[in-house]
Structures are given as C-alpha cells and as structure tokens.
C-alpha cells in the first residue's frame, strides 16, 4: 500500500517538474529531439573551456553548462578533450586571427581544425562581447542550425538598447499588465531574488544593455541614499550581463528631497545639488548609465515651470553626469491641452532646439506623433533634428493594443517605423539610419521600449508578450532582420522546431498586428479607446479632463464624414514632413488607406481604392479584423497535440477573449459611426447583438494599469 502511494506521489512530482509555465522564456534549453542532429552537435562540442575568470566569464561558463547540458542532454566536460568550445576575449586567447571582432560588443564565432581536433571559438574585444557570442551560439543550437563550420562576425547596429520600466516604488506598474513590478524595493538591497539574474540573462541573450528601473512619472525618493543602495544592489546583479542601470529623475527632486526652494536649471544651488547627487550615485554605481527625464509633459515638472526650455534643463543634468561618462535621455513626449492638434507639438517645441543640446544628451521620441497607437505615421521629428541624436521609444506593454489580453506581435509595427523613409537627406533616409546614428554621423545612438515585464510567472502576462520583448532586442541589434525571421527563431526556442508548429504560430503572429489595426482603428482612425484605461472602444467620449484625451478630438465624425484634416485646409501637420513624404499623404485620393483618416476628413461616400465607399470599407475592415482573430484561433486549436497543455490552454482562453473583444470593437464603432453616416450595414453583415446604448452604459472602473 505504502509503495503505491509513494509511486503515485513521485509520478505527480514528475508531472509537475515538466509543467511549462513560460518562466524560462526563450532560454528553455530542452533536449534536441532530432537524434541525427543531436549526435552531430555532440560530436562537434565535447567540452568547453572558458578562458579567464570574472563575474562575466563565470556567467558565460554557467550559461554554457546549463544550455549545453540541457540541449545535448549530457554532462559537458569543462576541460578540453576532443572537440572543444573555447570562449574568451581576443587577447586572452592569443589567437592569430585575420579577422577582428567589431567594437566593444561585437563577437566572432569561428570553427577551426587543428591537429585533428575541432575547435569552436567565441571571441570578442570584451567579456560582454563573448557573452553575446555565447548566447548566439546557444540560439543556433536551439534553432537547429549547423555549427560545424561557423564564421560569424556580428556587432550591434545601435549602441544603447534599453528597456524603460514604468515601475513605481510601491511596485505598481503604470500601464503594466503582467502583475506588479519585479523590483522588490522593500526587500532590496539585502534580498536578491533569482529572478533578477534571470532577467539579466534574458536581456543579455537578446543584446539589451541598459534598463531604466523606474517610471518616467518619477518619484524623487529613488534618488535618496537608501534607494540608491537598492539600485546599486540591482546594478551588481546586472553588471556581469553587460546591463547598465539608469533612473528616471524627477525634475523637481532638488525641492522634494533636497529641500531647496527652486528647481530652476539656471540656479547655481540647483546645479550644484545635481552635481553632488551625480557624484553620490557614481560612487555607489561607477557604471551608472544616466537619467531619463519626462519634463513638462502631462503635469510633470520641468524647466518650463521656471520659464526655461528643454535645453536648459537637459544641459544642466548633462553637465552633472558628464564627468562620470553619464548620459541624459530627454523625452520629446509633450503636448498641451490648448493645442489645436496634439500631433504638432513635439516638433514645434523641439526642432528650434536642435544643435543646442550637450553631446551627452539624446532626445527620446515615441515612434508616432500621438501615443503608441495600433498604427501611426512616423513622428515628424525623425529627420528634423540632424544635430541631435534621436533615440526611438517603442512600447512593449500593449497599452493601446489589447494590453495583456490580446496576442499582437509587434515586430511588424517596429519594422514599419524603422524602415520608413523620412527623405531628410534625400531618398533612403530611413528612420533606422537616424536611430543608429549613421545618417548624421552621431557617436551615440539608441532604441528604448517601455517594458511589458511584471512579476507574473511567465513575465509578460500574455505568453506572446515575450515575443515582443525578444523582437525589440533582436531588432536593436540588427534592424535588417525580418519580422518573420525573428518570429521563427522565437517560436523555435519558445515552443518547438517542428515545422507544423513553427509555420502555424508564425502565421498567427504575422497576421496579428494588422488584425488589431482592423478591429480597433482601421483606415487611420486613432485614439478612440476609452479614456483612462485605453482598453476597449469609447468613440463617443467627449468629457475627459482635457480635450486631447477625448476620442471625438481624433475621429471628428460628423454628418459629412470622418477623420482629422491635417492638410493645409486643416491643422497643416503634414507641413512637418519633407515634401516627398508630404506628397504621399496630401491628397485623399492617393493617400494610402492605412493613413487616410490620420490626414483627411473624408466623406462617407468617398470612393476607396477597393471601389467601396468609405462607409462600406470601414465595415469591411472591422469585419476583417474579427475574421483574422477567428483564423488565429482556428490555427491555434490545431496545435493542441503539439503544445504542452498549460501554455496551450492559456493562449486558447486569451484568444477567445480577444475574439470577443474584436466583435465588441466592431459593433461599438460601427453602431456609433452609423449615427453619423446614416448608412446601412452592407448585405450579409453580421448584425450587432446589442444596441449602442447598451455598450455606452458599460463601465470599467478597475481596468488594469491605469
């Protein structure tokens, strides 16, 4: 009897240990299930040798052992035997290589045969480079690539590759949909959660080299001594993985924690206060990255509060961190309630300041002129500030993209922006070339994204949120990778190399971005989400605390038509683009459907490229969005026998919510816009199951992340 119980118990434990909860992200290191391949990998690498000892080299060794033992299902020897993998920095290896690794973060992986032995060598100019090479090799094995004959020389295109956490000190995450903050400020600096190390590993594996730990709506307390001790403890965990910490600084900190009367950037005492603060920080964290600042935006304090401008503020901080090699990232996300068109403000406020920032200042610009919508034209600031390094700000947390509930693969959105041609220096002046510093020859360059990470077991709430985090890192390293390539390698590492799984999930992912555009904001509609929470549709909303938070401000539907006229007849925001770009959008007959209602107020009868009227096209697009989600569900269902039950079921349930939400969006928007168009739904159209009034009465007071 006792025996049976014991057996049962051990069976249960065995089952538990195989549960896939998503914690291991794309670093699962599961045994290679293709025996032929497994045999060949085992032949190519029989032992590893890590040259040198340091926290980074130790991390490399640990990762190699973990990864290779798991993938090759073996106990990899750590002294050279037959076929060996050698990891170490270039000089330590004393190799006579014709080719050198590139820069401080690049790596070289090469295969060599010498005296009948096969060597795989990972080398770089720095330990961090070797770390990146290590993760690259593990990725090759995880994605079943051949490794006998390697010759890879890779380095990142963009220098600063950052996550921006919008995490508050009480662990609430603004616009966070994956639990509370992973930073446990209360137990830091004494308690070091293993999760911090796993966070560092995951980021290093995709080349992320910096993290801003706290919300841009910053609390000055983070700059006090006890909190700086906590920040220093996190920096110690992240440092071996090549990740620097940065902090969001509150501009009025000299008043709040320094007890000064002012935070005027031209005031000597204020300047000295920041200089002393910088010194204090660098004593604790010698490789501190610098400050991220949200100033004079959405009620945050800033230099304008003292009659000064953005350069006065940024340069004062830049001077404080310059002696220590720090940088200032100054955000361009500004808009004022009295402006007729929020679209224009960042450009108007920032372009006159071009050339006036210190050279350790980057201006961080959101990808679009409004705010992380499912689709935006690119911000006209890109290409309009040649003398200032501009940093990209994307958003991984899906504030306006169905949050933690909808599956939306964002790589196509990121690529659309990076590939966009600003024509700033003639054709082929892409945003990617502005961001990597090459177009205007800047020494610094950067991409940041608002993190989607929380303390949920699978990190991002929706398992597929992991793919967006992954894609950000991979694109910041090399923006020439395609969305499809990135999806493929993410699926292979996260789920399986089985072609059925890879192809079906890839189809789901690649369709998902256009789906969200269609069921939320087709044809260039934007910002028609409910005020505050930004989750569901509320196109009728007209009573927010400021007009530019109201959907009616953006869609401008009336009896004549719908859309925001940004041509010369309207706000003339189009003027902010170069003529070649302006030309693409200026005429409602030639403007692409994707951006039509971004730039034009168009009659309901307007003839679209499809031949349909605008009204019918709108109905068609909303329906297409719903249909795509049905197709995504269908594809997922067919993978049931290929995916572990935990993750399968989770995604299945979320897709069902997404489908319900897509129908909700379609019904709400069409019923509401129909009150203006007065046109019937096209024949065979699925009729809404509720009235507009029903939808308008729904309330969401506790929607997350708000």
341 binds ligand BDP (CB under 6 A): no
Phi, psi at 688, each rounded to 5°: -60, 140
**Strand pairing report for 290-293 and 107-114:** unpaired
Question: Of the ranges 74-82, 182-190, 293-301, 344-352, which one interacts with ligand BDP (CB under 6 A)?
Answer: 293-301
342 binds ligand BDP (CB under 6 A): no
394 binds ligand BDP (CB under 6 A): no
Site mask for ligand BDP (CB under 6 A), range 404-443, x = bound? ----------------------------------------
Closest CA to 645 of 9, 1, 18: 18
Q: Name the burial class of residue 578, with classes exposed (0-12), middle (13-18) and buried (19+) by CB atoms within 10 angstroms of its CB.
A: middle
Question: Of the ranges 51-59, 291-299, 310-318, 543-551, which one interacts with ligand BDP (CB under 6 A)?
Answer: 291-299
Contact (Cβ atoms closer than 8 angstroms) between residue 555 and residue 528: yes
C-beta closer to ligand BDP: residue 175 or 442: 175
Question: Has 371 been annotated as catalytic?
Answer: yes
Contact (Cβ atoms closer than 8 angstroms) between residue 374 and residue 665: no
Residue list 639-678, contact with ligand BDP (CB under 6 A): none
Q: How far apart are CA 343 and CA 378, in angstroms?
A: 11
Residue list 171-190, contact with ligand BDP (CB under 6 A): 174-175
294 binds ligand BDP (CB under 6 A): yes
Contact (Cβ atoms closer than 8 angstroms) between residue 121 and residue 145: no
C-beta closer to ligand BDP: residue 22 or 210: 210
Q: Which of 264, 399, 416, 436 is catalytic?
A: 399
519 binds ligand BDP (CB under 6 A): no
The beta strand positions in 68-174, using DSSP E, are 84-89, 107-114, 117-124, 151-154, 160-164
Q: How far apart are CA 93 and CA 81, in angstroms?
A: 17
703 binds ligand BDP (CB under 6 A): no
Residue 333 CB, nearest approach to ligand BDP (Å)? 5
217 binds ligand BDP (CB under 6 A): yes
Q: Which residues on adjacent β-strands are paired with residue 657?
A: none
Q: Taking the alpha carbons of 204, 209, 214, 217 in that order, is the dihedral positive or negative?
A: negative
C-beta closer to ligand BDP: residue 294 or 474: 294
- Among 216, 320, 346, 525, contact with ligand BDP (rule: CB under 6 A): 216
Contact (Cβ atoms closer than 8 angstroms) between residue 130 and residue 88: yes
Residue 68 CB, nearest approach to ligand BDP (Å)? 42
Question: Has 419 been annotated as catalytic?
Answer: no
Q: Which of 33, 58, 99, 298 is catalytic?
A: 298
**DSSP per position, 168-212:** -TTS-BTT--SSS-S--TTTTTT---HHHHHHHHHHHHTT--EEE
Residue corresponding to tokens 């038509």? 561
User: Contacts with ligand BDP: how many residues (CB under 6 A)?
Assistant: 11
Question: Has 298 been annotated as catalytic?
Answer: yes
Question: Of the ranges 292-300, 426-434, 475-483, 592-600, which one interacts with ligand BDP (CB under 6 A)?
Answer: 292-300
Closest CA to 581 of 422, 439, 377: 422
C-beta closer to ligand BDP: residue 246 or 333: 333
Residue list 362-391, contact with ligand BDP (CB under 6 A): 371-372
Applying CB under 6 A, which residues contact ligand BDP? 174-175, 216-217, 294, 297-298, 333, 371-372, 399
Q: Which residues are the active-site residues?
A: 298, 371, 399
């Amino acid at each position: 009897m006792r025996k049976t119980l014991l057996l049962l118990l051990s069976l249960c434990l065995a089952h538990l240990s195989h549960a896939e909860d998503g914690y291991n992200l794309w670093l699962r290191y599961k045994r290679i299930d293709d025996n032929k391949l497994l045999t060949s990998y085992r032949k190519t690498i029989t032992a590893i040798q890590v040259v040198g000892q340091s926290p980074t080299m130790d991390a490399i060794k640990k990762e190699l052992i973990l990864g290779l033992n798991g993938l090759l299902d073996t106990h990899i020897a750590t002294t050279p035997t037959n076929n060996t993998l050698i990891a170490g920095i270039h000089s330590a290896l004393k190799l006579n290589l014709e080719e050198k690794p590139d820069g401080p973060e690049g790596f070289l992986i090469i295969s060599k045969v010498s005296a009948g032995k096969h060597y795989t060598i990972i080398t770089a100019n720095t330990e961090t480079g070797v770390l990146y090479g290590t993760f690259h090799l593990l990725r090759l094995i995880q994605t079943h690539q051949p490794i006998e004959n390697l010759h890879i020389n890779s380095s990142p295109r963009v220098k600063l590759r950052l996550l921006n956490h919008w995490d508050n000190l009480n662990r609430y995450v603004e616009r966070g949909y994956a639990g509370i903050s992973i930073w446990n400020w209360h137990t830091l600096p004494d308690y070091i959660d293993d999760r911090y190390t796993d966070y560092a590993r995951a980021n290093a594996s995709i080349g992320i080299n910096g993290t801003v730990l706290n919300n841009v709506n910053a609390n000055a307390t983070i700059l006090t001594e006890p909190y700086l001790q906590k920040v220093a403890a996190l920096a110690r965990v992240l440092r071996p993985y090549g990740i620097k910490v940065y902090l969001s600084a509150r501009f009025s900190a000299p008043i709040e924690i320094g007890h000064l009367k002012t935070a005027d950037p031209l005031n000597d005492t204020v300047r000295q206060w920041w200089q002393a603060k910088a010194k204090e920080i660098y004593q604790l964290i010698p490789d501190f990255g610098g400050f991220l600042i949200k100033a004079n935006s959405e009620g945050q304090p800033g230099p304008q509060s003292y009659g000064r401008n953005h350069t006065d503020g940024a340069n004062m901080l830049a001077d404080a961190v310059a002696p220590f090699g720090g940088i200032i990232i100054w955000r361009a996300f500004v808009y004022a309630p009295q402006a007729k068109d929020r679209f224009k403000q960042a450009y108007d406020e920032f372009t006159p300041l071009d050339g006036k920032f210190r050279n350790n200042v980057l201006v961080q610009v959101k990808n679009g002129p409004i705010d992380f919508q499912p689709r935006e034209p690119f911000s006209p600031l890109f290409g309009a500030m040649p003398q200032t390094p501009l940093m990209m700000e994307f958003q991984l947390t899906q504030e306006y993209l169905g949050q933690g509930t909808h599956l939306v693969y964002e790589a196509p959105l990121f690529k659309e922006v990076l590939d966009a041609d600003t024509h700033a220096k003639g054709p082929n002046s892409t945003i990617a070339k502005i961001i990597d510093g090459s177009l205007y020859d800047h020494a610094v360059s950067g991409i940041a994204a608002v993190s989607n990470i929380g303390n949920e077991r699978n990190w991002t709430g929706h398992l597929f949120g992991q793919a967006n985090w992954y894609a950000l890192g991979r694109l910041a390293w090399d923006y020439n990778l395609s969305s499809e390539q990135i999806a493929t390698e993410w699926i292979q590492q996260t789920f399986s190399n089985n072609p059925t799984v890879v192809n079906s999930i890839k189809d789901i992912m690649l369709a998902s971005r256009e789906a969200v555009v269609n069921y939320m904001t087709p044809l260039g509609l934007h910002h028609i989400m409910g005020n505050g929470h930004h989750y569901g549709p509320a196109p009728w909303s007209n009573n927010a605390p400021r007009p530019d938070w109201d959907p009616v401000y953006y869609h401008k539907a009336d009896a004549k038509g719908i859309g925001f006229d940004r041509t010369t007849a309207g706000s003339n925001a189009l003027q902010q683009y170069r003529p070649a770009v302006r030309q693409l959008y200026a005429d409602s007959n030639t403007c692409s459907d994707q951006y039509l209602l971004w730039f034009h107020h168009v009659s309901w009868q307007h003839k679209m490229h499809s031949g349909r009227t605008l009204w019918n096209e709108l109905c068609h697009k909303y329906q297409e969005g719903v249909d795509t989600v049905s197709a995504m569900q269908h594809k997922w269902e067919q993978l049931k026998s290929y995916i572990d039950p935990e993750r399968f079921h989770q995604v299945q349930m979320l897709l069902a919510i997404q489908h319900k939400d897509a129908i909700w969006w379609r019904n709400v928007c069409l019923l509401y816009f129909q009150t203006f168009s007065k046109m019937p739904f096209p024949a065979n159209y699925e009729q809404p199951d509720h009235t507009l009034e029903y939808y308008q009465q729904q309330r969401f007071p506790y929607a997350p992340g708000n």
